[in-house]
Amino acid sequence: MAKKKDKKAKSKDKASKKAKTAKKLVLKVVAKKANGNGLPKVSKKAWGEDGKALDGVKILDFTHVQSGPTCTQLLAWFGADVIKVERPGTGDITRGQLMDVPGADSLYFTMLNHNKRSITLDSKSKEGMKVLERLVKTCDVLVENFAPGALDRMGLTWEHIHALNPRMIVASVKGFGPGPYEDCKVYENVAQCAGGAASTTGFHDGIPLVTGAQIGDSGTGLHLALGIVSALYQRKRTGRGQRVLASMQDGVLNLCRVKLRDQQRLAHGPLKEYTQYGEGIPFGDATPRAGNDSGGGQPGVILKCKGWETDPNAYIYFITQAPVWEKICDLIGEPEWKTHPDYAKPPARLPRLKAIFERIEQWTMTKSKFDVMNECNALDIPVGPILSMKELAEEPSLRHTGTIVEVDHPKRGKYLSVGNPIKLSDSISEVKRSPLLGEHTDEILTKVLKFTPREIAEIKASGATGEAPKAQAAE
Ligand code: COA
């Protein structure tokens, strides 16, 4: 009996020793990896040389036209492996839209699909679906912006995707969120109209206007990208994917937030910073179009500069920011306005804004927009020259930061594009040319999806991938 007890105590001792050693080992490993505060060790590699923010993230890119491709292009710039699935023969419809160089993918396509790989697949064929399902199992995120219901009609319902890969994030752009318009197809300008941008853009006595900035398409793509990285972050904790929806109406409305602000302010009286207030024009019951009035609390308008008669962009945006009002008075040669009761304080100026800006314009018309910019900036007066696309394309500082980049394409040669506008100091974005249609079909089937040569032969013989061109030697 005593022997038995002895044995038991000895084995207990052994077990506790073992546990202690294991604990020490774990601590040692943690200490090796950790930074002393539980955080991972700081990289020994130089800034920008330790990979990219989204390295290792695989995206099944089922997007087309502009909104979805904007999102996946951003993710690709941050290092995600973006595999664009396109219909054999035609691919993304924009490849052939607004073509400028015969036989080459359009700028519409190339400027929205950098850093991606292209595989052609007929998703409506049996073999095509087999490949798609393998992609679903392999990738982290599926991004799509088909018309409502199209993904379900293909057989890729959320339930099916989730069953195949519970970690997959399914991200969609749709025109509208759930509600009366959820089944509608939507393009950029439809979203601008439905999201409140058009009713608040233009002059109060003119028709609604859409803006050149693609706030419906590219704006919603940006919103979606944020949803995706947030879902990826949450997945670290939950281990499961989720659905991400960015509707274009919601995205535009989010960007028009200040106009909904004004809608509510209207209930408490006229919007005094709007030019129409100074002109004595009554307000209706909805936020009016504000012309070029500033959207903030500081009155601002677009003024003519030297050369405006012939140059459509010889204008400057001028803001009469209250703290620099006295400097503005000196600059335009009206020093007495600094103390005059009609001009000295912002509320007194509000009903006289038209006349005040006319006087400032007399001054700006004597100078080029760049001279106005230089003189005002030296005095901390906020102004903005109206820059043309030509001027932006030629601006050296934008080239220097990689916001404007020159890209080489095997079929169209060199072209300009807008690079990643979001700069990360430790995740450097290189802009690589867009893929040719189906350029990476073989590579993806073999290296990413690990199909055997026999399976690949079957898939190809079925016509599911169409004809893929050989990769070009130009790069
Ligand atoms: N193989 C086979 N079929 C494919 C395919 C592939 N690889 N890729 C797409 N298709 C099919 C779809 O399954 C769909 O078929 P179905 O209608 O029979 O189900 C069809 O192609 C067309 O898709 P759809 O999205 O309806 O294209 P569209 O050109 O008619 O509409 C939009 C374009 C942009 C109006 C629409 O996609 C949409 O409203 N998208 C959501 C909002 C959006 O992103 N708009 C902005 C675009 S910049």
Q: What is the pLDDT of residues 161-220, one digit of tens each?
A: 999 999 999 999 999 999 999 999 999 999 999 999 999 999 999 999 999 999 999 999
Per-residue model confidence (pLDDT) at position 263: 98
Q: What is the pLDDT of residues 367-406, one digit of tens each?
A: 999 999 999 999 999 999 999 999 999 999 999 999 999 9
What pLDDT is attached to residue 193? 98
Position 294 confidence tier, pLDDT thresholds 50, 70, 90: confident
Other C-beta atoms closer than 10 Å to the C-beta of 81 total 20
Pocket lining for ligand 1, CB < 6 angstroms: 65-68, 85, 87, 121-124, 145-147, 150, 153-154, 173-175, 185-187, 217
> What pLDDT is recorded for position 438?
97
Residue spans of alpha helices (H) in 58-210: 67-77, 107-110, 126-138, 150-154, 158-164, 188-194
Q: Model confidence over 434-462: pLDDT tens digits?
A: 999 999 999 999 999 999 999 999 999 99
b/e per residue, 293-312, with b = 16+ CB within 10 A? bbeeeebbbbbebeebeeee
Q: How far apart are CA 81 and CA 139, in angstroms?
A: 9
pLDDT of residue 297: 76
Catalytic residues: 217
- φ, ψ for residue 247 (rounded to 5)? -90, 145
Note the residue count of the chain.
475
Q: What is the pLDDT of residues 90-110, one digit of tens each?
A: 999 999 999 999 999 999 999
- Best mutation site among 185, 188, 441 for ligand 1 pocket (most ligand atoms within 8 Å of CB): 185
Residue 25 reports pLDDT greater than 60? no
Q: Which atom of ligand 1 is nearest to the CA of 122?
A: 1
Average predicted confidence (pLDDT) for the chain: 92
Q: Using a CB cutoff of 8 Å and minimum separation of 24, what contacts does 328-331 make?
A: 328/360, 328/381, 331/363, 331/375, 331/376, 331/379, 331/381
Distance, CA 90 to ligand 1 centroid (Å)?
A: 13
pLDDT for residue 362 is more than 90? yes
pTM for the predicted model, two decimal places: 0.90
Which residue type does 157 have?
A: T
Query: What does the pLDDT read at residue 445?
Result: 98
Q: Which pLDDT score, from 0 to 100, does residue 270 have?
A: 94
pLDDT digits (tens, 9 = 90+) for 247-289: 999 999 999 999 999 999 999 999 988 888 888 999 999 999 9
Question: Given the CA of residue 68, which atom of ligand 1 is nearest to it?
Answer: 44
Task: Say whether pLDDT at 10 is over 80.
Answer: no
Q: Tens digit of pLDDT for each residue in 112-165?
A: 999 999 999 999 999 999 999 999 999 999 999 999 999 999 999 999 999 999
**Residue 465's pLDDT is what?**
97
